[in-house]
Amino acid sequence: MNILDITLFVIKYIPFWSVPMILISLHFAYLYWLKDFREMAYAWGLISLFCLTFLVAYFFIGGPDQIIQTITHTFK
């Protein structure tokens, strides 16, 4: 298994890692916001925004099969 296979696997299953990461990072952002650690809250918010961007792109492109085809056509 090479790095391309691992990358394509991670991209194909974006909802399975992105949705939990969004929920976890928003929870930590809220906790740090309440404790008045604004920089950490912003960092966790950026992580959740990053994951949300991947999730929206995943559904906008067309799901698991279409995103793999798009990625392979882009890099070949």
All structural domains of the chain with their residue ranges: 3-75
pLDDT computed for residue 53 by the predictor: 96
For 12, counting Cβ atoms within 10 Å of its Cβ (0-12 exposed, 13-18 middle, 19+ buried), the class is: middle
Tell me the residue type at 53: T
pLDDT computed for residue 40 by the predictor: 97
Tell whether the model's pLDDT for residue 1 goes beyond 80.
no
pLDDT computed for residue 43 by the predictor: 98
Q: What is the pLDDT of residues 6-58, one digit of tens each?
A: 888 999 999 999 999 999 999 999 999 999 999 999 999 999 999 999 999 99
pLDDT computed for residue 76 by the predictor: 78
